Amino acid sequence: MSKTYCHDNERDWDEGIPFVMFAARESIQESLGFSPFELVFRHTVRGPLKLLKEKWLSDPGEDIHLLDYVSRFKDRLHRACELAQENLRHSQKKMKAWYDKTTVKREFKPGDKVLVFLPVSGQPLQARFQGPYVIERKMILLGQI
């Protein structure tokens, strides 16, 4: 579901993926008989899909403004996502400032020997130091001139 959504919405997939994931988590899995949400939190979530089902099965005389509710719900989710992204940026700035307090700028000259931290082939979550390698030349990247 998420792969299809991301493929169909290449430019702004990141804006809608929380809603796709919400829908996937509230949908009952045929093999389990429960939704992932139920298995984690031990109760059903009352999301947009459940509200639509209730609307279709409800008494036609009932005055339920489902579209207004879903629209407000979507706005609240979108705002919550914006707040989470804002908090993440703030936390990242704080963590960077904390990290930068103890970092030391290192410069290497041609002829220096260095160890390189490289991934282990066939084991994507592991890495080890390899070397020593000798620095041959210093390259300047265009964005750092």
pTM for the full model? 0.40
Long-range contacts of 79-84 (CB under 8 A, 24+ apart): 81/15, 81/18
With b meaning 16 or more CB within 10 Å and e meaning fewer, what string describes 17-39? Answer: eebbebeebbeeeeeeeebbbbe
pLDDT tens-digit series, residues 17-62: 887 888 788 887 777 788 888 888 877 777 766 767 776 777 665 5
Residue 126 has pLDDT above 60, yes or no: yes
Torsion of CA 138, 143, 144, 145, to 10 degrees: 90
Residues 6 or more apart whose Cβ sits within 8 Å of residue 42: none
Q: By C-alpha distance, which of 75, 29, 66 is closest to 46?
A: 66
pLDDT, residue 81, reads 72
Radius of gyration, CA atoms only, the chain: 25
